[in-house]
Amino acid sequence: MTDTTVTPAPQRGRKKLFIKTYGCQMNVYDSERMRDVLTPLGYEPSDSPEGADLVILNTCHIREKAAEKVYSELGRLKPLKEEKAASGAPMTVAVAGCVAQAGGPEIQRRAPVVDLVVGPQTYHKLPELIASVHRGRGEALDTEFEVEEKFDALATPDRQIEGYTAFVTVQEGCDKFCTFCVVPYTRGAEWSRPVDQIVAEVRALAAKGVREVTLLGQNVNAFHGQAPSGHEADGTWGLGRLVRHLALIGGIERIRFTTSHPKDMDEELIETFADEAKLMPYFHLPVQSGSDRILRAMNRKHSAEEYLAIIERLRQARPDIAISGDFIVGFPGETEGDFEATMDLVRQVGYAACFSFKYSRRPGTPAASLGAQVDEAVASERLARLQALLGEQQEAFNRSMVGKALPVLFERTGRHDGQISGRSPYLQAVHCDGPESLIGQIAEVEIVSASRNALAGRLTGGKRSAA
Ligand code: 5AD
Ligand code: SF4
């Protein structure tokens, strides 16, 4: 989870917009949508809050640290806003995203610098909300759950796009209620976009040069979107069928999706890994813990063995598939034995890359009121051990690429002259010497060296399929 800044494409306009994005890829996608919806109002990019008339913090609430970062940033914006107001250039500060959803009016009480709080389902109302702030109609607050209305109102096929890869939200929300997690409260109930809408968006992206789409959802493999026109009798489609359908769109070479839940794996999706070459052989399937006792306390609805069985089935279907995951250490009541079960599971799976976190107590979630919260020092020590093992696995996975020829989607020039960089099917950063004309294309690279975070190689001259 990194902080990213969306820098809008230059456009004519008199007002400047700065969006700072925290957290997951869905927030990155939402920031782009906010930018699109504000462009017709004359907002053009600013690369810093100093130059902006409107600052939006698109926030993450998943762990305490993520949420606290927002208040630090608001603290930094306060003197800037005062200074700008004094010089006759008022600045509007909006808090969007999951902190907005969870915090509501509390945010404006705690940080009066905030003019506007807007939850994830109401970005299409931003122009109206901003207008109302400007008109001095007082506090504007909109954090209702109306996800359907959101996607109807955001004209996604018209989205501005830079580069060759894009996120597309296909599903939002979560009904799983893992006991540690705020998402069911901040993103609301599970909901899927209709297939027609997704297809229109992906077609438009392909026409703008996008070669790789990542389908996003908090529970993406629970996708069950309304069948497209002409297929109404089919009711809803699952993710496997959607992926196969999107693979038919000309120009789209690679498809990924994230984040999945083990409970929602179905045979059709596994089969799609087996026979759809455009679906990349890299799969993020969080497990959180290897201890059945902890999995139960987390309300994950599956055992360690069931998770391992899914991984085995995936490997049968697609032998070159690589797996990534998410882990939480220090969940309330986690013993050394539970933690060892997690380490065992990691050894059995052999991950390509993972995210691992110390449990963060989120007020209002069921786990927050459990006794037996794990001592901070114990959790830190376990996290260090887990990350050492995951780091070794990641490095071993990268090193196993040396000598292989991998298709790379080149996305940008590299660090030195004549170098270009892109991604392998496994999302590894790959650098090699080559012409800029390859940017936006897939070409084959023979890997000559590997480190924990990147691969280096040379072009073979082959231009081959996506994976
Ligand atoms: N504490 C620590 N990690 C968390 N995650 C979600 N909620 C918490 C929490 N309260 C992690 C999970 C999830 C990822 C997106 O963030 O591992 O898969
Ligand atoms: Fe949170 Fe669990 Fe839903 Fe994932 S599946 S978003 S961890 S509640």
pLDDT at position 142: 64
Higher pLDDT pick, 149 / 338: 338
Four-CA torsion 387, 66, 64, 333, nearest 10 degrees:
-30
Q: Kindly give the distance from the C-alpha atom of residue 358 to the centroid of ligand 1, in angstroms, as a whole number.
A: 8
Q: Which of 1, 180, 374 to mutate to test the pocket of ligand 1 (most atoms within 8 A of CB)?
A: 180
Averaged pLDDT, 194-213: 96
Lowest-confidence segment of 86-90, 144-148, 242-246 by average pLDDT: 144-148
C-beta atoms surrounding 65 within 10 Å: 12
- Cα(318)–Cα(277) distance, integer angstroms: 10
Q: Kindly give the distance from the C-alpha atom of residue 175 to the centroid of ligand 2, in angstroms, as a whole number.
A: 8
- Cα(67)–Cα(69) distance, integer angstroms: 5
Q: Is 148 a residue whose pLDDT tops 80? A: no
Averaged pLDDT, 219-240: 94
Residue 12 confidence class, pLDDT cut points 50, 70, 90 = very low
Q: Are 326 and 349 in contact (CB under 8 A)?
A: no
Tokens of residue 277, six digits: 């070459």
24 is in an annotated binding site: yes
- Cα(80)–Cα(247) distance, integer angstroms: 48
Q: Which residue has the tokens 């940033």?
A: 73
- Determine if ligand 1 sits within 6 Å of the CB of residue 331: no
Q: Which residue has the tokens 């997951």?
A: 24
Q: Kindly give the distance from the C-alpha atom of residue 176 to the centroid of ligand 2, in angstroms, as a whole number.
A: 6
Q: Are 297 and 333 in contact (CB under 8 A)?
A: yes
What rounded mean pLDDT belongs to the chain?
Answer: 91
181 is in an annotated binding site: yes
178 is in an annotated binding site: yes
What proportion of the chain, given as a percentage, has pLDDT over 90?
Answer: 76
- Cα(187)–Cα(465) distance, integer angstroms: 37
C-beta atoms surrounding 146 within 10 Å: 16
Nearest to 327 by CA among 384, 298, 288: 288
Q: Which atom of ligand 2 is nearest to the CA of 261?
A: 5
Encode pLDDT of 346-394 as tens digits. Answer: 999 999 999 999 999 998 899 999 988 899 999 999 999 999 999 999 9
Averaged pLDDT, 243-260: 98
Encode pLDDT of 422-459 as tens digits. Answer: 999 999 999 999 999 999 999 999 999 999 999 999 99
Q: Is the pTM of this model over 0.85?
A: yes
Encode pLDDT of 285-336 as tens digits. Answer: 999 999 999 999 999 999 999 999 999 999 999 999 999 999 999 999 999 9
Q: Kindly give the distance from the C-alpha atom of residue 286 to the centroid of ligand 2, in angstroms, as a whole number.
A: 10
Residue 56 confidence class, pLDDT cut points 50, 70, 90 = very high
The CB-side HSE value for 60 (13 A sphere, CA atoms) comes to 20
Of the ligands numbered here, which is closest to the C-alpha atom of 176? 2
Q: Are 45 and 8 in contact (CB under 8 A)?
A: yes
Q: Are 228 and 249 in contact (CB under 8 A)?
A: no
Averaged pLDDT, 267-280: 97
Q: Which domains does the chain have, with CATH numbers?
A: 15-146 (3.40.50.12160), 149-400 (3.80.30.20), 402-463 (2.40.50.140)
- Cα(395)–Cα(406) distance, integer angstroms: 17
Q: Are strands 212-216 and 254-258 parallel, antiparallel or unpaired?
A: parallel
What proportion of the chain, given as a percentage, has pLDDT over 70?
Answer: 92
> In 219-313, which ranges are E strands?
225-226, 236-237, 254-258, 282-284
Return the SS3 of 57: strand
Q: Kindly give the distance from the C-alpha atom of residue 370 to the centroid of ligand 2, in angstroms, as a whole number.
A: 18
Of the ligands numbered here, which is closest to the C-alpha atom of 178? 2
Residue 6 confidence class, pLDDT cut points 50, 70, 90 = very low
CB under 6 Å to ligand 2: residues?
Answer: 174, 176-178, 181, 183-184, 218-219, 261
pLDDT at position 459: 97
Nearest to 411 by CA among 389, 441, 433: 441
pLDDT at position 461: 86
354 is in an annotated binding site: no
- Cα(155)–Cα(211) distance, integer angstroms: 21
Phi, psi of 286 (to 5 degrees): -60, 145
- Cα(105)–Cα(186) distance, integer angstroms: 14
- Determine if ligand 1 sits within 6 Å of the CB of residue 286: yes
